[in-house]
Amino acid sequence: MTDAIAFDGVRLAFGGEPIYDRVDFTVARGEFVCLLGPSGCGKSTALRLIGDLVPPDGGTVRVDGRPPAEAWSEVAFVFQSPRLAPWRDVLSNVLLGAELRFGRAEARRREPLAREMLAMVGLASSAAKYPSMLSGGERQRVAIARALVVEPSIVLMDEPFSALDPNTRRRLRAEIERIWQHTGRTVLFVTHDIDEALTLADRIVLLSGKPTRVLETVVVDAPRPRRPADDPRLAALRDRLNQLFRSLEPSSEPDPQEPDA
């Protein structure tokens, strides 16, 4: 079966600065892969390559077996900040992605789906509220619902929970895991939080510092739901990733040993 995402020998430079040396990884259909790596190594750039927002300088990126330019309809994004339109209520924010992609008539047809997605993220009763009336976690839930309403087969998430407090983050992680299990989507999830990756991923693709290569790919096969902080089966993996990660980003990262840092 064709992989949902395939990077094959991808090279990239920005303004003469080499960013990717050679990046190779795949994401199978239905798989939950976390892309982990130090700041500036090109994690967000990987998502932009997949979304056809940047072209590679060498090698190939394939999305559902096709060039990204032909596969944009398979893909939806969730960013670090929810990027909601403040003048639109929650329901019409959830429909915004569909409206931009498919036009108003199609967006109107998707209203029942939008309500269903809002219910899935626990906001069924907030459809008529405005973004200013929501908490940070609720806004991020709206962004997740908005991504799902275009019915992408691949959801790209760029540190979607990093701006949230630890409890909200934990709740949303559990929620995204449930949604993934329920919908069978492929998820590529960028994070630089090791415990987040260990909680969510079927596989973790660890990137080096620039010029970037894949340093290691780690299969996480512990049963779900996981609590990496006190799961002895994950302890060795956690230690190893911590060690590798520290060697990549020696001074600037918070200590990942902190509970749910």
- Give the binding site for Mg ion (CB under 5 A): 44
**Per-residue x/- mask for ligand ATP, residues 176 to 205, rule CB under 6 A?**
----------------x-------------
Give me 185's structure tokens.
Answer: 């989507």
Between residues 192 and 226, which has the closer beta carbon with respect to Mg ion?
192
Q: Rounded to 5 degrees, what are φ and ψ at 76?
A: -135, 150
Question: Least CB distance from residue 237 to Mg ion, whole Å?
Answer: 24
Q: From Mg ion, ligand ATP, none, which one binds at residue 82 (CB under 5 to 8 Å depending on kind)? A: none
Shortest spacing between CB 228 and ligand ATP, in angstroms: 20
Beta carbon of residue 158, minimum distance to ligand ATP (angstroms, whole number) = 7
Q: How many C-alpha atoms does 198 have within 13 Å on its Cβ side? A: 25
Q: How many residues bind ligand ATP (CB under 6 A)?
A: 12
**Under rule CB under 6 A, residue 160 binds ligand ATP:** no
In SS3 terms, 217-261 reads as: EEECCCCCCCCHHHCHHHHHHHHHHHHHHHHHCCCCCCCCCCCCC
Interactions with ligand ATP, residue window 11-70 (CB under 6 A)? 14-15, 19, 37, 39-45
What is d(CA 164, CA 121) in angstroms, rounded to the nearest whole number? 16
Residue 19 contact partner, candidates Mg ion, ligand ATP, none, CB within 5 to 8 A by sort of partner = ligand ATP
Omega of the bond prior to 211 within 30 degrees of 0, cis?
A: yes
The least distance separating Mg ion from the CB of residue 147, rounded to whole angstroms, comes to: 17
**Which C-beta is closer to Mg ion: that of 45 or that of 93?**
45
The answer to whether 26 and 59 are in contact (CB under 8 A) is no
Tell me the closest approach of the beta carbon of residue 10 to Mg ion, in angstroms: 17
Three-point CA angle 4, 184, 121, nearest 5°: 120
Task: Closer to Mg ion by CB, 127 or 155: give it.
Answer: 155
Minimum CB distance to ligand ATP smaller for 23 or for 143: 23
**Residue 59 CB neighbours (<10 A):** 16
Exposure b/e, 119-155, CB count within 10 A at least 16 = b: ebbebeebbebbbeebeebbbbbbbbbbbbbbebbbb
- CA dist., res. 145 & res. 163, Å (int): 18
Residue 98 interaction partner, one of Mg ion, ligand ATP, none, beta carbon < 5-8 Å per kind? none
CB under 5 to 8 A by kind: which of Mg ion, ligand ATP, none does 146 bind? none
User: Is the CB of 30 or the CB of 209 nearer to Mg ion?
Assistant: 209
Q: SS3 for 44?
A: helix
Length of the chain: 261
The residues binding ligand ATP (CB under 6 A) are 14-15, 19, 37, 39-45, 192
